[in-house]
Structure 1
């Protein structure tokens, strides 16, 4: 068993405490669960990566057509309907690019914008302004469920999971829920482009990782 003092100093007692509580203060089980959580989180990376890139590029494509401008994010008509949050994120993207002494291009701005920026485009305020365009980013979604609120719910749920993973938080309290997230992401990818799901072959090992670590979690 790892030295308790070292583990608590490196990982932090506060971060380890939920695992200890879950395993009735059994430190060995708690640490193993912590390690398993890292492995499961890591296994989500291909799914989240392809979803985020696929979503932003699909939205970028549709908004470029809508505003007839590859720099739609600075187009006056977009700015008129954008929220303060989005305007600030675009400004942040510009600042980040300049801080790296790089030329500002539309491609770099699109890549720099956060997942939160893209999911915010499904907010209620855009129902009458952008949704008619944004829905075209999901050609394979059945029309009866291709609603703004459906996309907002789905992608914001995934965004919250993504943020927990990228902030090294625990996600493995309920493996059934984790596998539902996988289904949600695969469905979203299918809605965007079925080739994205096929392209994941050989990259998505989440189910195997879950089964390999189930005994350390449950």
Structure 2
């Protein structure tokens, strides 16, 4: 609580109010990010599956028959399949994909795949302003780091929260603008941003 107490000038009650707000805001962002994560992994997986089929390769893109994925990605896929089996299920593509972390999908957008995977992955973002890899990679990277703060229950009132919300909506818009409206209908983020008990260092 030290950071909260210090920010509130030693006022324990105000610090507790800020702590509660931080928890509520984190929950709202977590919920909204979950929508983006599902959309992102489905879009990327669909593009990779279509690319795999178009190339006439055996098996599935998760098997990486051409050795295009790096060692970390292959290890993540093996671990995802192991977890599926440990749950008593068959490691079909859908089950495996749902076990892959947000970080896995982030690194599918990395520079190392710029000329290998990205030309196909770009098709998953038909409403983006351009086909530059960084148009998608940059906000996904920022959100991955932000997601890690949420997962570790760290304070987020120090973060540029409006910008992170715009990152989420922007990425969803690049996939399908109608998803943005659907997410906004129940999203608690704007209300909470306006109810923070302190003046945050960033908008």
Q: Same fold (TM over 0.5)?
A: yes
| Contact 2:21/2:197, CA 8 A, preserved across alignment | no
Number of residue pairs the alignment of both structures matches = 196
Runs of 5+ consecutive residues of structure 1 not aligned to the other structure:
1-15
Runs ≥4 in structure 1, deviation > 6 angstroms?
none
1 or 2, which has the higher helix percentage?
A: 1
**Which residue does the alignment assign to 2:104?**
117
- Partner of residue 85, structure 1: 72
RMSD: 1.6
3-state secondary structure, aligned to 1:25: coil
1:206 aligns with 2:185: no
Offset at 1:131?
Answer: 0.8
> Which blocks of at least 5 consecutive residues in structure 2 are unaligned?
none
Determine whether 1:74 maps to 2:57: no
> Equivalent residue for 1:139?
126
2:172 — aligned with what?
A: 189
- 1:27 paired residue number: 12
Q: Which of 141, 156, 163 is equivalent to 1:180?
A: 163
Contact in 2 for aligned 1:46/1:203 (Cα 8 Å): no
Tell me, yes or no, if structure 1 residue 45 matches structure 2 residue 30.
yes
Contact in 2 for aligned 1:94/1:109 (Cα 8 Å): yes
* 1:215 maps to which of 179, 193, 197: 197
Q: TM-score, normalised by structure 2?
A: 0.90
Q: TM-score, normalised by structure 1?
A: 0.84
What corresponds to 2:115 in structure 1?
A: 128
String of CA shifts for 1:96-147, please: whole Å, max 9, x gaps: 111111111110011110000001011111111111011111100012xx31
